[in-house]
Amino acid sequence: MKYKGIIFNSATVRALQGPLAEAVRERRIHTAVVSNHGKSEVSEALGRAGLSVDLVVGGYDLNRRGKYRKPMPDLLFVAAAKLGLETQDMVCVTDCERDEQAARAAGMDTTPFTASESLIGQLDENPPAPAPRDFSGIEAPVTGLMGTIVGDVVGCVYEHDRTTDYNFPLFPPKSHPTDDTVGSLAIARWLLGDRTRENLIRSMVQLCNSYPRAGYSHRFKAWLRSVEHAPYGGNTNGSAMRVGACGWAAKSLEEALDLARQTAEVSHNSDEGIRGARAVAAAIYLARTGHPKEEIRSYVEKTFGYDFSRSVDEIRRTATHDYNCDVSIPQAFCCWLQSGTYEQTVRNAVSLATDADTIAAIAGGLAAATPGMEIPQDWADKVFGMLKPDLKAILADFNTMTE
């Protein structure tokens, strides 16, 4: 087995003071310290010892109470993702049973600290890191997948601090992209490359685990941090919130429906999870190809059995905190169908006082696909500026592909 990365703990990282360090440097092997201690504490200790690694993941990085510390494998999954590797491409240098258990649960090989120099002959070689991309001066898109992302960011603060005020403040402090954005861009990245089931899972696992505190549900988080990645029958709106790219990449309605099914089935493989994803992808495809709203409404209602007859005001008065697709899809569609602009759509969605970021992400994705309902440029610019470089790169490449 050849390894592209090595995981240490705060003690075994001393192996980088010996001959292993030269091989790691020459072959550009990715390194991380994963510790149950705090990240700052570990970083300070590394500095005092004159040691350097690519990444430090501390025991409180995933949860302020340290809920996912070793021997649970979560920290290792996240470290691998942040380094751009799969867990089976890494080896964990261990000195205790706790680390052994965590590594085994993550699908990583292990080697004892006392035998760490034996790894030299087992190290692969990584290619040089690509030059950073320059996104300065780029005007953010006002259509496309950006519609989903802006809706997510506008709604994120109001997911828990719910409001029925249509005139709620835009972009208050702590506004940020959440799991809706990360999941959507993971699917967009899959659509840019090899569209196999294996690559879809790989793209979702790597990107989502790179943003471990984006707000995933407990079941999806467990799916991300498992070795098998077996579908779990989810019927919540997670399959619908991330599917927008399928509607933009498809060359036909049939392809949009098929791509949506594939993206849902890897986790949300229930009838409802698949139905919700297909409805959203189909509507985006139809909207961006010039079909009028009423035609789209009729198609989605007849094909998927949803009811879009309720007014936004009625939904606002009676909405419950239900995250299932059969509830979320009508809410999002009604907000879009009963609005004339992108801003009206997203304000309607957030002010329902339900799952604000996801309803706004779905509704915003529908609006941005509708001619004449483009995102306000200042909104798009503000949100584009919030994206980390890797997310900007995916979005830019996807926009180029779908132009």
Distance CA 56, CA 52 (A): 10
Catalogue the E-assigned strands of 249-326: none
Going along the chain from its start, the domains and CATH numbers come out as: 5-122 (3.40.50.1000), 146-211+218-402 (1.10.4080.10)
DSSP type of residue 289 = T
**Contact indicator for 126, 22 with CB cutoff of 8 Å:** no
Q: Token pair for residue 342?
A: 């992108």
User: Could you tell me the end-to-end alpha-carbon distance of the chain, in angstroms, rounded to an integer?
Assistant: 42
**Contact indicator for 357, 180 with CB cutoff of 8 Å:** yes
**On the CB side of 196, how many CA atoms lie within 13 Å of its CA?**
4
What pLDDT tens digit does each residue of the chain (403 aa) get? Answer: 799 999 999 999 999 998 999 999 999 999 999 999 999 999 999 999 999 999 999 999 999 899 999 999 999 999 999 999 999 999 999 999 999 999 999 999 999 999 999 999 999 999 999 999 999 888 899 999 999 999 999 999 999 999 999 999 999 999 999 999 999 999 999 999 999 999 999 999 999 999 999 999 999 999 999 999 999 999 999 999 999 999 999 999 999 999 999 999 999 999 999 999 999 999 999 999 999 999 999 999 999 999 999 999 999 999 888 899 999 999 999 999 999 999 999 999 999 999 999 999 999 999 999 999 999 999 999 999 999 999 999 999 999 999 8
